[in-house]
């Protein structure tokens, strides 16, 4: 595979034993209708923003370009309907995570 097709893995990956994510609750001044809810790690954020007239929950990796944080391709934007489905299944997700982590 070419070097262009591969990206270096994040060195700041957060594992289960790390500190909780940093909550920032701020509105970015460069982007309108964009609220950073929390920083999962140094280069990963959860944001709520207005995209093409619709509210989305955006979980995305960022990179630095010319000293400015820029959104990367790696991530997902959930519509409010998708977010509500995910939110309504948090208990089942937690249960599955706990069941799978028992063998570790």
In terms of DSSP H, where are the helices of 1-103? 80-88, 90-101
Which pLDDT score, from 0 to 100, does residue 8 have? 45
Which pLDDT score, from 0 to 100, does residue 34 have? 85
Which pLDDT score, from 0 to 100, does residue 13 have? 42
> Residues of 58-68 as b/e, b for ≥16 C-beta within 10 angstroms?
bbbbbeeeeee
DSSP assignment letter at 3: G
Residues 38-74 pLDDT 10s:
999 999 999 999 989 999 999 999 999 999 989 999 9
Mean pLDDT estimate for the chain: 78
pTM equals 0.63
């Amino acid at each position: 595979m070419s070097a262009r097709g591969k990206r270096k893995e994040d060195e700041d990956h957060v594992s289960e034993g790390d500190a909780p994510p940093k909550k920032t609750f701020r509105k970015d001044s460069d982007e309108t209708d964009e609220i950073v809810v929390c920083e999962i790690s140094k280069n990963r954020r959860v944001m709520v923003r207005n995209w093409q007239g619709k509210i989305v929950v955006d979980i995305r990796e960022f990179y630095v370009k010319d000293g400015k944080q820029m959104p990367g391709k790696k991530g997902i934007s959930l519509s409010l309907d998708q977010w509500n489905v995910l939110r309504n299944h948090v208990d089942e997700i937690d249960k599955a995570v706990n069941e799978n982590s028992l063998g570790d």
